[in-house]
Structure 1
Amino acid sequence: MIGTGNKHASSWMIYGAYGYTGELIAREAVARGLKPVLAGRSREKLEPLARELGLPLKVFELNDTTQVSDAIAGMDLVLHCAGPFSVTAQPMMEACLREGAHYLDITGEISVFEHAQTLHAQALAAGVVICPGVGFDVVPTDCVAATLKAALPDATHLALGFDSLSRMSPGTAKTSVEGLAQGGKVRIGGQIASVPLAWKRRRINFGDGEKTAMTIPWGDVSTAFQTTAIPNIEVYIPASERMIRSVRMANGIRPLLGLGWVQRWLKARIGKQISGPDDRDRADRGTWVWGEARNAAGKRVEARVHTVNVYSLTVTAALEVVCYLRANADMSGSYTPARLVGADLVSRLPGSSQIILSEHAVD
């Protein structure tokens, strides 16, 4: 049922506020003098946080259309932080369209980005913005992609990647387990293509020396195409040769990984074993983000930016986009972060460098 709190006390909401990242965002919002409504499906988890932060709360599930609409009525904006977004994003997007609220989330899931693009006309008609991926997934890589497109307008191939030492939160780990069953994803000739896990390997200097890297099914396979229209896109992370071999071996058991009971077992183990990085870990774990654009003539342009750890960047990026939309409330349509706010978004965030470009002659 709908929880306590005056729905007019604040004009925006964090749904999933007691999750690992949602709570970080809620605490930083209060530190900045912002007063979001905190929301989620568990009153037991939500009430102590709302009481501590002095914020109104709403308790509701996403499987009841009327309940969701009633809960977000009067909101100008919803920042959705409750995964798995492959399940939760669509009902919240639909509710935001019905109630005239801007929709933001912190997903990295390709399916969610693809669905958001199909809602562009509806978002225009409703006068709202639909913009998933306003956290580390995919703000820095999306900004790098936009910067590379501006530097090499005729690019035909785009490679993106990041080098981070941050531990995963429980939510991120559970999403990764789902992704294993779906295999690798890249974009070829403008279309998203399914490929084996660790489909390609190459040596990349993300910013901290050259390392072996492998392809992963990251959200930019969808969003970078929407931002740049570059038809061929791959995303990489550093990986040891042993890891690459192990991931490639998993291709043989992918059908098993997709079974419901296997997914439930793996996620239950994650819930017991993974807690996410603490304050000290987040402070110690910076991230390099890299990109490379190449045209038909063989000219290459690389871009690099150094940021804080992935979770701290998610907090500041999400709040930056929240504040941007609240100051530019008349915008509407479906966007990627760089298209909505600009390619300099990542460089404006605390602890981020400027994006540095380097050009290479034709090979």
Structure 2
Amino acid sequence: MKKTWMIYGASGYTGELIARLAVENGYTPILAGRSKEKFNSLAQELNLETSVYSLDDPKMIKEHLAGIDLVLHCAGPFRSTSSPMIEGCLLSNTHYLDITGEVDVFEHTHAKKQAGRAEKAGVILCSGVGFDVIPTDCTALKLKELVPDATHLSLGFDSDSGISPGTFKTMVHGLSSGSLERKNTEINAFPIGKKKRTIDFGRGKRTATAIPWGDVSTAFHTTGIPNISTWIPMPASTIRAARFMSFFGPVLGTAPIQKALLHLVDIKVSGPDESSRDTSPAYIWGEARNDAGEQYTVRIQTPNVYSLTAAGALEVTVRILDQANPSGGSFTPAGMFGSKLIEELPGCGRFEVEHEKLY
């Protein structure tokens, strides 16, 4: 029996990329969102069915998900939209995927209550099936395989990929909060720009700063490693500026400032074009160590972050739909399909491993 799946948020930059890739590969998702006007031309071009509904009421979502086997949720900001969609999926016995990178969304998806309900209903909940967080999640699991007793895990990436409107808006919403790390299993906040180190992500050593990347949540659920930090390259001067700006977090989080910044995103940000995506790969880095001083470092090169998101989201979707009776519950991408998932995606390299004894 042919299974039916839906892309909610098809009018967004990444949702459209996934829809086009799906059709190129012979799949026919239903395109959905709040306003048909925003994605109707895409649906007509790709000859796909549409569904129009808001996420205000999970019971209404349930009605629109009748007969839908899986929803790939691409409408951010996910801290506002994922919870009602998850609830609708649990009510309708529909598998749920999203492309978020937001820590609080991951924590909601993996909450004990959610996981228990999903397992009982036979529903898969899996947040982060794109660049957020497939490459780093697989890197985390690869390191756990190399260092089973690891106590500390660091993950990061380097890319000139550009940024989509949705990602930019997520950053705007997060201006009032700081960075995050996991320490002794608990998630702790600290000011942006406070922590820095030098890292070779795959194209030479660069100054880097800690950021609130989704793996602070997901890598813990994948590996159980109690101490996790996440990093991106950033010039020292920019790190100092970020540290200074952190003092203005409460102001940047106020409604008038948020409204003005989000309006600017709508006007100014369009996302990288195909040429930019084809010429801007990403470099993934991870490091794990144990109490005995054994340290492993792994690196892998991937396509542009948005190209990988489209390919990764489609791959996870197809793998789930191909299963006859998948077990329900809350999962990470690597937790479902193993560390080799990233190596099996189009255009990705293979893990390169280094080992050293620190003491």
Which TM-score band applies after superposition, normalised by the shorter structure? over 0.9
The aligned amino acid for 2:305 is V
- 1:331 equivalenced with 2:327 (yes/no): yes
Map of 1:3 onto structure 2: none
Map of 2:91 onto structure 1: 98
Determine the C-alpha separation between the residues in 2 that align with 1:66 and 1:186.
Answer: 36
Determine the C-alpha separation between the residues in 2 that align with 1:101 and 1:222.
Answer: 24
- Any conservation in 1 of the 2:3–2:321 contact (CA below 8 Å)? no
Map of 2:357 onto structure 1: 361
Determine the C-alpha separation between the residues in 2 that align with 1:346 and 1:188.
Answer: 27
- Any conservation in 2 of the 1:143–1:345 contact (CA below 8 Å)? yes
Map of 1:16 onto structure 2: 9
Determine the C-alpha separation between the residues in 1 that align with 2:174 and 2:194.
Answer: 14
Identity %: 49
Post-superposition Cα deviations, 1:120-141, rounded to whole Å, max 9, x if no partner, equal 1000111110000000000000
- The alpha carbon displacement at 1:65 in A equals 2.7
Determine the C-alpha separation between the residues in 2 that align with 1:351 and 1:315.
Answer: 12
Determine the C-alpha separation between the residues in 2 that align with 1:277 and 1:191.
Answer: 36
Spell out structure 1 runs of 4+ moving beyond 3 A: none
- Any conservation in 2 of the 1:214–1:236 contact (CA below 8 Å)? yes
The aligned amino acid for 1:335 is F
Map of 1:85 onto structure 2: 78
The aligned amino acid for 1:51 is Q
The aligned amino acid for 2:357 is A
Map of 1:5 onto structure 2: none
Map of 1:278 onto structure 2: 273
Q: Which runs of 5+ in 1 are unaligned?
A: 1-7
Determine the C-alpha separation between the residues in 2 that align with 1:179 and 1:142.
Answer: 22
1:247-262 superposed matches below 5 A: 247-262=242-257
Determine the C-alpha separation between the residues in 1 that align with 2:81 and 2:42.
Answer: 22
- 1:73 equivalenced with 2:73 (yes/no): no
The aligned amino acid for 1:78 is V
Q: What is the aligned counterpart of 1:160 among 155, 159, 172? A: 155
TM-score (norm 1): 0.96
- The alpha carbon displacement at 1:9 in A equals 9.1
Determine the C-alpha separation between the residues in 2 that align with 1:336 and 1:198.
Answer: 28
- The alpha carbon displacement at 1:46 in A equals 1.8
Map of 1:43 onto structure 2: 36
Q: Residue 155 of structure 1 aligns to a residue in which SS?
A: coil
- The alpha carbon displacement at 1:330 in A equals 2.1
- The alpha carbon displacement at 1:245 in A equals 1.0
- 1:170 equivalenced with 2:138 (yes/no): no
Determine the C-alpha separation between the residues in 1 that align with 2:97 and 2:288.
Answer: 28
Post-superposition Cα deviations, 1:160-205, rounded to whole Å, max 9, x if no partner, equal 0000101110000010112221111100110000111123100000
Give the alignment's Cα RMSD to 1 decimal: 1.2
Map of 2:130 onto structure 1: 135
Q: Which runs of 5+ in 2 are unaligned?
A: none
Determine the C-alpha separation between the residues in 1 that align with 2:2 and 2:55.
Answer: 22
- The alpha carbon displacement at 1:10 in A equals 6.2
Post-superposition Cα deviations, 1:54-102, rounded to whole Å, max 9, x if no partner, equal 0000011000233211111110000000000000000000000000010
- Any conservation in 2 of the 1:212–1:238 contact (CA below 8 Å)? yes
Determine the C-alpha separation between the residues in 2 that align with 1:296 and 1:161.
Answer: 22
1:198-237 superposed matches below 5 A: 198-237=193-232
TM-score (norm 2): 0.97
- Any conservation in 2 of the 1:9–1:56 contact (CA below 8 Å)? no
Post-superposition Cα deviations, 1:257-298, rounded to whole Å, max 9, x if no partner, equal 111111111111111111100000000100100000011122
Determine the C-alpha separation between the residues in 1 that align with 2:122 and 2:40.
Answer: 32
- Any conservation in 2 of the 1:179–1:217 contact (CA below 8 Å)? no
Stretch moving more, 65-74 or 38-47: 65-74
